[in-house]
Structure 1
Amino acid sequence: MLQQIRIVLVNTTHPGNIGATARAMKNMGLAELVLVAPKHFPNEEANARSSRADDILERAIVVDTLEQALADCQLVVGTSARQRNMPWPLISPRQMAGQVFSDIAKANQAPDTQTPTMKAAVVFGREDRGLTNEELALCHYHVHIPTDEHFSSLNVAAAVQVLAYELRVAYLDSSQQVAPAWQEDWDNPWASGEDVERFYQHLEQTLIEIGFHDPNNPRLLMTRLRRLYQRTRLDQVEVNILRGILSTTQKAARGQKESN
């Protein structure tokens, strides 16, 4: 189950933080690291700080965008250190770990699942300013580490260590149970990040075509719609249904324009 969890670092400036992250991951049994446009990688300082977690660095995948890093993920949790203009589902590190293993356990119990397909990502932002609002909008949940309000700044590798520890504890708790703790079943696999992003693009284009959305005066419309659907957690069938509705709406709107 731990192999189904991905740690994602976005635009990391200091290579030492990448190495320290690899060490924190290996301490807790995590192995998959994805780096989004790191400033310096590969780097000797990263290897030195990894303290014999070089294998994680060697397997690390480097991509250009966060969307690429999340394309095959069904659950995405983003770390957030400050309040945003628009509230989003906010959970604690312990709640985050429980949610991750709940979803993984449900996916792995599906009768037609031969190999684990569920992938969860925990995303960490830049050292100086964390994740942008646009990047946080790609996440289903935001997780906040409850540091002291008078000294809340937390090194990115230290943040990884805290959340990796909670994931480790949740994993050990779940593995000791004879029967699964997660009682709620679901009839379809969760939609991947790539499929959901295609839906959002389709939704925005449709809203523009029918005159409901003005991209030159967006008024946070798409951000609010993202929050709505991310909070809902779409599965694969639901995405297909929604895109079918959008396609039919586009056809009707185009036909009406032609008749006029």
Structure 2
Amino acid sequence: MNPDTTPFSRIRIVLVGTQHPGNIGSAARAMKTMGLHRLSLVAPQRFPHADAEAMAAGAGDVLESAQRHEALAEAVADCRLVLGCTARSRRVQLQELMPRDAAARMLAVAREGGEVALLFGRERTGLENEELQLCHAAVHIPSNPDYGSLNLAAAVQVLTYELRLAMLSAGEIPQREDGAHAGSPASHTQLEGFFDQLAQTLDDIDFHKGRAPESAMRKLRRLFLRSDLDEREVRLLRGILADAQRMARIARE
């Protein structure tokens, strides 16, 4: 499913005053693993930076499309809902939401077409009181009270994970990670064709080395049958086997 067609397209992660560029890259990676792609940066101390690119580890597209702002008010100006991830504060009276409740609230607004921002503050000091005043509610991650220090990217991961869980439970995004809904289950004939080709391939590469092949094939059949393969997965596996058979033929020539 195209992320631009889901409520995720209306949810942005906003990092405020980030001090270490590597944390920006790690946060981008955390976002992309959960299917979010909108990143806004408010007055980062060092960005762009090679450390951000290195820590993104495949989420460079999230960094490249990140919006940069000098002031938080500008970054959230068009938002209907703004939530700030923060430790408990006695000085700013805000409703406090648990991560799961926050995810449900964000998705509800996004489904209605509203823009949503989830804010994360500085590594050492978090969001300032003036910044929290721009939020509709606070999000508190219930960490160990004796050691509540949570890395910025880890906090982003927790909240984006909860968002993804909420989307999955509502059936709004596929549970497969190949960008499409799961295919139809493989038929008995398709599976038997795969097993025949697998047995032949194992012979071609001399996998058994003189041992009886029946025991290995019984174990492999049980393994793949437990996996409940769909049609596309069977085609992928058979393609791999075909290449292995081709390489075995070349090696024998």
Taking structure 2 as the reference length, the TM-score comes to 0.64
Letter in 1 for 2:147: F
* Residue aligning to 1:41: 47
The 8 Å contact of residues 18 and 44 in structure 2, kept in 1 or not, is answered as yes
Letter in 2 for 1:45: D
Letter in 1 for 2:56: S
Matches within 5 A, 1:154-233: 154-175=150-171
SS in 1 for 2:122: coil
Q: Indicate whether 1:83 and 2:89 are aligned.
A: yes
SS in 2 for 1:77: strand
Q: 1:2 aligns with which of 1, 8, 14?
A: 8
Alpha-carbon separation, structure 2, partners of 1:6 and 1:135: 16
Letter in 2 for 1:7: I
SS in 2 for 1:24: helix
Alpha-carbon separation, structure 2, partners of 1:84 and 1:10: 21
Deviations 1:74-105 (A, max 9, x none): 11000111322243100100000011111222
SS in 1 for 2:170: helix
Alpha-carbon separation, structure 2, partners of 1:150 and 1:129: 18
Q: Indicate whether 1:32 and 2:10 are aligned.
A: no
The 8 Å contact of residues 109 and 115 in structure 2, kept in 1 or not, is answered as no
Alpha-carbon separation, structure 2, partners of 1:119 and 1:31: 14
* Residue aligning to 1:121: 117
The 8 Å contact of residues 42 and 72 in structure 2, kept in 1 or not, is answered as yes
The 8 Å contact of residues 11 and 117 in structure 2, kept in 1 or not, is answered as yes
Alpha-carbon separation, structure 2, partners of 1:22 and 1:86: 29
Q: 2:141 aligns with which of 135, 141, 145?
A: 145
* Residue aligning to 1:70: 76
Letter in 2 for 1:118: G
The 8 Å contact of residues 92 and 132 in structure 2, kept in 1 or not, is answered as no
Structure 1 unaligned blocks of 5 or more? 108-116, 178-260
Q: CA RMSD in A?
A: 1.3
Q: 1:21 aligns with which of 22, 27, 34?
A: 27
Number of residues paired by the alignment? 167
The 8 Å contact of residues 85 and 139 in structure 2, kept in 1 or not, is answered as yes
Q: Indicate whether 1:104 and 2:104 are aligned.
A: no
Alpha-carbon separation, structure 2, partners of 1:14 and 1:75: 27
Structure 2 unaligned blocks of 5 or more? 1-6, 174-253
Q: 2:130 aligns with which of 131, 134, 139?
A: 134
Q: CA deviation at 1:176?
A: 5.4
Taking structure 1 as the reference length, the TM-score comes to 0.63
Distance 1:17 1:88, change over 3 A: same
Bigger RCO (CA 8 Å, 6+ sep) = 1
The 8 Å contact of residues 92 and 129 in structure 2, kept in 1 or not, is answered as no
Letter in 1 for 2:135: C
Alpha-carbon separation, structure 1, partners of 2:107 and 2:41: 23
SS in 1 for 2:82: strand
Alpha-carbon separation, structure 1, partners of 2:172 and 2:83: 25
Paired-residue identity, %: 50
SS in 2 for 1:45: helix
The 8 Å contact of residues 19 and 123 in structure 2, kept in 1 or not, is answered as yes
SS in 2 for 1:175: coil
Alpha-carbon separation, structure 2, partners of 1:100 and 1:152: 24
Alpha-carbon separation, structure 1, partners of 2:104 and 2:146: 28
Alpha-carbon separation, structure 2, partners of 1:84 and 1:145: 16
Alpha-carbon separation, structure 2, partners of 1:54 and 1:160: 17
Deviations 1:82-137 (A, max 9, x none): 322243100100000011111222x1xxxxxxxxx421000000001000111001
